């Protein structure tokens, strides 16, 4: 229940920030934008239908497509964003005091990029999707195996190019800057808190140390064959990867077992495998 509450809260916060960036900065400044919002703005210019209504309709259609091609689990994690984003967008666009928060197009570009990147990043970090234009690339990827990142970039590029007919040359240039800032902030948000620590522990009590890492920290470990430099004796060292938050506790536990243990730690930013990108094995 705690995880569900945090997931819902983060998805709502992420969509609120995302809608704020579009409604208060990007749309009033006439910046070209990608995703479902870009499609909504194009339809508004062509057929006169409100872009928030187009976004809601498009999101629902994509949700149905996701249910058909990607399954129930995907829909469960996307349905909240499907309805939350257009609702928040409509709310912010009707708050008159906020619509004139700045008339500087450069400030609008910078803050739109920050808000959009931050909002999407918060949703992505919980393992969910913002819906809309995230879904077609996932479906195509499932059918063809083509990279999702490449497909998302292609879709966004097409949507951006379609808006060239409705925007000034200056708006296009600022829009490209906004997209760059969005991607930069998104990358940073996804990396926040993801720093891990690699531990190499050389101790004669390697068995006890590995057991404590497995049972107390719920992290895997590997034995590495080493030879001590002074006595030239073969020995095993314990290699493990833990989160930065766990390091002080693990370090204390190791020193309680062996105060003379030789501990080497180093920062790492990418880990693939069981317990990180793959589920743990229940032993």
**Selected residue with higher pLDDT from 182 and 73:** 182
Whole-number pLDDT of residue 283: 47
Whole-number pLDDT of residue 49: 84
Cβ pair 254, 212 in contact under 8 A: yes
Q: Which residue is associated with the tokens 């069981």?
A: 274
pLDDT value at 99 more than 70: yes
* Sequence-distant (≥ 6) Cβ neighbours of residue 140 within 8 angstroms: 146, 151
Whole-number pLDDT of residue 216: 81
Q: Count the Cβ atoms, other than its own, within 10 Å of residue 60.
A: 15
* Sequence-distant (≥ 6) Cβ neighbours of residue 112 within 8 angstroms: 21, 22, 25, 26, 29, 31, 178, 181, 182
**Section 20-48 average pLDDT:** 87
Residues facing 196 on adjacent strands: 243, 268
pLDDT value at 63 more than 60: yes
Confidence of residue 73 (pLDDT cuts 50, 70, 90): low
Whole-number pLDDT of residue 115: 94
**Section 239-254 average pLDDT:** 84
Span of 66-75, 82-91, 105-114 with lowest mean pLDDT? 66-75
Helix (H), strand (E) at residue 150? helix 148-162
């Amino acid at each position: 229940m705690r995880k569900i509450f945090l997931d819902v809260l983060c998805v709502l916060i992420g969509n609120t920030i995302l809608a704020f960036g579009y409604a208060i900065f990007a749309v009033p400044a006439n910046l070209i934008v990608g995703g479902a919002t870009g499609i909504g703005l194009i339809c508004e210019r062509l057929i006169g239908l409100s872009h928030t209504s187009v976004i809601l309709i498009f999101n629902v259609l994509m949700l149905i497509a996701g249910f058909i091609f990607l399954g129930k689990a995907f829909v469960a994690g996307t349905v909240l964003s499907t309805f939350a984003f257009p609702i928040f967008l409509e709310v912010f666009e009707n708050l008159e005091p906020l619509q004139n928060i700045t008339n500087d197009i450069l400030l609008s570009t910078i803050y739109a990029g920050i808000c959009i990147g931050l909002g999407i990043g918060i949703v992505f970090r919980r393992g969910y999707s913002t819906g809309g234009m995230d879904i077609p690339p996932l479906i195509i990827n499932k059918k063809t195996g083509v990279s999702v990142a490449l497909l998302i970039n292609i879709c966004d590029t097409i949507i951006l190019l379609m808006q060239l007919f409705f925007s000034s040359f200056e708006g296009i240039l600022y829009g490209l800057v906004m997209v760059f800032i969005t991607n930069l902030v998104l990358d940073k948000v996804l990396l926040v808190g993801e720093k891990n620590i690699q531990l190499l522990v050389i101790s004669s009590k390697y068995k006890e140390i590995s057991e404590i890492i497995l049972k107390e920290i719920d992290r895997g470990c590997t034995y590495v064959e080493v030879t001590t430099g002074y006595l030239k004796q073969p020995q095993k060292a314990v290699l493990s990867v833990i989160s930065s938050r766990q390091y002080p506790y693990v370090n204390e536990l190791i020193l309680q077992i062996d105060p003379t243990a030789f501990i080497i730690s180093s920062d790492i930013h990418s880990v693939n495998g069981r317990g990180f990108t793959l589920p743990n094995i229940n032993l």
